Amino acid sequence: MAQPAAASADQAPATIEPNYVVISADCHGGANIVDYRPYLEPRYHDDFDAWRTSFENPYPDIEGDDAERNWNSNRRLAELEADGVVAEVVFPNTIPPFFPKTSLMHQPPGASDGDLERRWAGLRAHNRWLADFCGDAPGRRAGICQIMLHDVEGSVSEIRWAAEAGLTGGVLLPGAPPGSDVPPLYAPEYEPIWSVCEELGLPINHHSGSAAPDYGDYPAAQAMFLLEVVWWAHRTLWHLIFSGVMERHPNLQFVFTEQGTAWLPEEIARLDYYHHRLSGAGAAAGSQESKFGGAMGALSLKPSEYWARQCQLGSSFIRAAEVPLRDQVGVERIMWGSDFPHLEGCWPYSHQHLRLAFAGVPTDEVRAMVGGNAARVYGFDLDALAPLAARFGPTVAEVAQPLGVEDIPDDSLRCPAFASARFLGG
C-alpha cells in the first residue's frame, strides 16, 4: 500500500483550534424552598414553617420535575455540559424565604414596613445555600450575593462575608424604582457599598427586572412590563455615571445583564451628548442646561470613557443582528449567556445559537465573548476549564458554520434570538 507523502517544509500540518471554553454569564438558580430552612438562623424557623404553609408559588416554571434544575447540582452540570457550557454565573431564581415572589422583582414592603427583617434573613439564607451550591462544582460556578438597599451597613457586612465564602460572582445590585421607599441609586447613602466592592474586587451586577416598579393588577400590566423593563434597568447606567460613582471608584466594575445589546451604542452617544450640554462645554457654556449640571464638573471622563473603563454587558442570547455592533459596544465588554434554565433563554439550543450569532466572526473575538471576558470579570480559570471544553465545548469549525433559518428548531422560538432570526431576519 502506498504511504502518504510526507509534508514538505512549506506545507506544515494544519493546526486544530481547541474547542471554545463557553461560560454562560447569565444563569439562574436557587434552593428548593424547603431546603432554605437549614440556612436560616434558628430564631426564624417557626416563622418559616408558618410562611411555607401559606406560600403559593406564582411561577409555574419552578414547579414539577424540571424545577430541580435550579438546585440539583449533578443534573444541572449534565444539562449545561450537553449544551456546550462548562461554567456559569448564577443569578437568583427561586423564591427566598418570606418573599411573595422572586427577589429580582420590586415588591412590597417598603422601607418602613415590618417584614424587612425576615426578608433580609431570607436573602442571607439564599446566599449561604448558594455558597454551598457553588462549592459542589469548584471553579465552575460564580455565585452572586444578594443584598438589601434598605440596610446599607448590613449589606456591607454581607458583602464581606460573600467574599470570604467564595461567591466570586460579586453583588446583585437591586433597583430602587419609584415606590420602593429607598433612596435612588445616585444617592450618597450607598457609598459604603461601592467602597467595599471596590476594596474586595467584586463586580456589581444589575440584572433586567430588578429595577422595574409594581405595574399593578391590570390586564395590560404584563405587556407594559415587557415593553419597559429594560429601560428601568438601563437607567442605572446614567445614575451611576452622572452621580460620580464611577469617578470616585475607578477600579469598580459593573455588569449590565439581560438588557439587550443594541441599545448601548446609541445610549452612550446620548449620554455623551448630555454630558457635553450639562457640563457647559464648548458652545454649551452658559446655556440653561448647564445650570442643571453642577455635578458634571466632578467628572473627569465622558460617559463613553467610563463605559470603556468599568462596564461590561451580559449579552444573554445575543441576537445575530446585534453582533455587528460589537466594536461599538467593545468586544472585550460582551459576555454571552444562555439564561439557563429560563424558558426564554437559548438553552438547550446553545450550540445552534452560537452558530446563529457568531458564524463569520474572528475566532479570537468569539473566544472573548463566549468565555474569555467572563473569566476575566468573574475569576474563572480558563486553563482549568480547557479539559472540560475539549469534551463538551463547541468546536471552532462548528461555530463557524452558519445556521440557516430552516435549521432553527421550532421549540427554540420561545427564545427571542431564534424568533427574530426566523421571522425578522436578524
- Name the residue ranges covered by the structural domains of the chain: 23-423
Sign of torsion over alpha carbons 272, 276, 278, 284: negative
CA–centroid distance for 346 within its chain? 15
Q: Under a CB-based contact definition with an 8 Å cutoff, are residues 250 and 310 in contact?
A: yes
pLDDT of the chain along its 426 residues, tens only? 444 444 444 555 556 789 999 999 999 999 999 999 999 999 999 999 999 998 887 777 788 889 999 999 999 999 999 999 999 999 999 889 998 766 665 555 555 556 889 999 999 999 999 999 999 999 999 999 999 999 999 999 999 999 999 999 999 999 888 877 889 999 999 999 999 999 999 999 999 988 888 888 899 999 998 899 999 999 999 999 999 999 999 999 999 999 999 999 999 999 999 998 888 776 566 677 777 776 777 899 999 999 999 999 999 999 999 999 999 999 999 999 999 999 999 999 999 999 999 999 999 999 999 999 999 999 999 999 999 999 999 999 999 999 999 999 999 999 999 999 999 877
| 312 Cβ contact list (under 8 Å, min separation 6) | 203, 253, 254, 255, 256, 333, 334, 335, 373, 377
Predicted structure pTM score: 0.93
CA dist 388 and 396 (Å) reads: 15
Distances (CA, A) of 299 to 121, 169, 172, 241, 329: 38, 28, 25, 9, 21
Does domain 23-423 fall under CATH 3.20.20.140? My reply is yes
Q: Under a CB-based contact definition with an 8 Å cutoff, are residues 262 and 426 in contact?
A: no
Distances (CA, A) of 202 to 29, 151, 276, 409: 20, 19, 31, 38
Q: Which pLDDT belongs to residue 346?
A: 97
In 317-368, at which residue ranges do the beta strands (DSSP E only) sit? 334-337
For residue 71, the tally of other CB atoms under 10 A from its CB is 19
16 forms beta bridges with none
What letter would DSSP give residue 344? T
Give the dihedral of Cα atoms 374, 375, 376, 379; nearest 10 deg.
120
